[in-house]
Structure 1
Amino acid sequence: MKGKKIFIPLTSSDVCATYNLLYTQGLVLFPITASAVAQIESIVSNINNPYFGVERYSTPEEKVVAYLYFLINDHPFTDGNKRTATLSFLTLCKLNGLEPNLEGFTLDQLAVTLEKTKADHQEVIRLTVKLLFKK
């Protein structure tokens, strides 16, 4: 029997460093705010910590997609939410040995679709996992 994959998360500091990298390169317009840092801490905590003893996202695939979804839709930054989310997603995939299937669309197109989707977030995350990580 195969063991459960261990997920290597990004910390809130890692996500903020990703945003700051984009800022120093002139790819986002505004410096990070204290409010954004607090929102990132909440997002990272909600993805990685159990809720009443139950993991919300039980697989590495679900967790990387949750980072992508919530960094886009919780809109913690004034500018660069999709850029920070996609860069964080790609970093998480690399750290965790995941290879998303982006055949037929770009990550930018997926990010815009996730931003515009109004369906239940759990269902959107589940369907996105199936789309990106078909087995």
Structure 2
Amino acid sequence: MNDLIDLSKGEIKIFSENGANQVEVILQDDSIWLSAEKIGQLFDNKDRSTIQRHIKNIYDDDELEESSTCAFFAQVQKEGTRTVSRKIPYYNLDVILAVGYRVSSKIATQFRKWATSVLHQYIIDGYVINEKQIKQEHQKLLALQTMTASLAENLNSEKLENFTDIKKAVNFLKDFSNGLILLDDFDHGSLDKKGKTEISAEKISEQEYLEVINAMKPAFESDVFGVPKDSGFSSAVNNIYQTFDGKELYPTLEEKAAMLLYSITKDHCFHDGNKRIAASCFLYFMQKNNMLYVNGKKRIDDNTLFAITLFIAESKAEDMEMFRQIIISILNRNLK
């Protein structure tokens, strides 16, 4: 027989033969389920032993396969002072009808018509609900697929330096897929496009960032760490303050921070250390604008920042907006 299943999560429907002999049936897993006792009640109150004999013959004759038509349901009941849990076999619609045609073909035919109608509506209702959920999850799944593909590329090209790096990236994906990094506007299935902190940002100059980067150099054995390739870094740190027609293109602190991290990482502004520098500048911007901590807790933890920076570095250009929105969503969620 099949493993133990929880039929308590199923939907209850009442079948009544001409307004009499009402029987509760359980709808679950696109079928109808009844115990041998309930099947007997359905078909002119036949006793359970008679029903069990018919079921045994059905299986012995290979008319139906037991493993796919029978499942156990845990039933807890009081017996005196003891609480006893018993596993009760329940049978699906195929078995119910097979027994019915043996003992009462008239009721079996009536029940089949009723069950077909009920199951049809049950499946339609389930489809409508599932379709809505799929639409809600669609953008989240696309983001997850992109990041998973990026992780695979890094593993294949050995760009992750050690097992700890791999674990950090995998844990971030696990958190994202489990809904721990959820989207604020979940009902609409969309990532946040706008931040929540719409105040004037502390403007940090390119030179100030370079001083932060220079302070990092002793920790890295590289002659070219933090050496700019071109003017890309200058553009990255200044573009977040851009305006158009008198209005800021990135009006919130979250939007500025997200664009700063993405631009420095993706533009590969330095000969070495791009990801480390991007993450450090991002954190420096957050700190200078009093948005790094909320109630003593970081708005973005180290593992998440590591993974996001890695994924951005290996992403495609067309994924920019998605990653920007992911960062904004994480910061918005951790604002409370």
TM-score scaled by structure 2? 0.35
Q: 2:218 aligns with which of 24, 28, 31?
A: 24
Deviation of the 1:57 alpha carbon: 1.1
Larger radius of gyration: 2
User: Which of 314, 317, 322 does residue 116 from structure 1 map onto?
Assistant: 314
- Structure 2 partner of 1:81: 274
2:248: which partner in 1? Answer: 55
1:50-107 C-alpha deviation (Å, 9 max, x unpaired): 1454422110011111111111001100101111111111111111121353369432
2:203 is the alignment partner of 1:9: yes
Structure 1 partner of 2:116: none
2:325 — aligned with what? 126
8 Å Cα contact 2:228/2:269 also seen in 1: no
Taking only the aligned residue pairs, the percentage that are identical comes to 23
Aligned match of 2:238: 45
Summarize the Cα distance change of 1:111–1:50 in structure 2 as closer, same or farther, 3 Å threshold: same
Structure 1 residues 17, 103: closer, same or farther in 2, change over 3 A?
Answer: closer
Whole-angstrom distance in 2 between the partners of 1:90 and 1:121: 20
Write the deviation string for residues 100-131 of structure 1: whole angstroms up to 9, x where unpaired: 53369432112102222324423321221112
Stretches of structure 1 lacking an aligned partner (at least 5 in a row): none
Stretches of 4+ aligned residues off by more than 6 angstroms: none
Whole-Å Cα distance in 2 between the matches of residues 53 and 90 of structure 1? 28
TM superposition score normalised by structure 1: 0.79
CA contact (8 A) 2:275 2:309 kept: yes
Q: CA deviation at 1:12?
A: 0.8
Alpha-carbon distance between aligned partners in 2 of 1:52 and 1:73, rounded to the nearest angstrom? 27
What secondary structure, in the 3-state scheme, does the structure 1 residue paired with 2:248 have?
coil
Q: Does 1:107 align with 2:325?
A: no
Structure showing the higher strand proportion among its residues = 2
Distance 1:90 1:101 in 2: 10
In 2, distance between residues paired with 1:35 and 1:56? 26
**Cα offset, 1:7, TM superposition:** 0.8
Q: How many residues align?
A: 132
- Over aligned residues, Cα RMSD in angstroms? 2.6
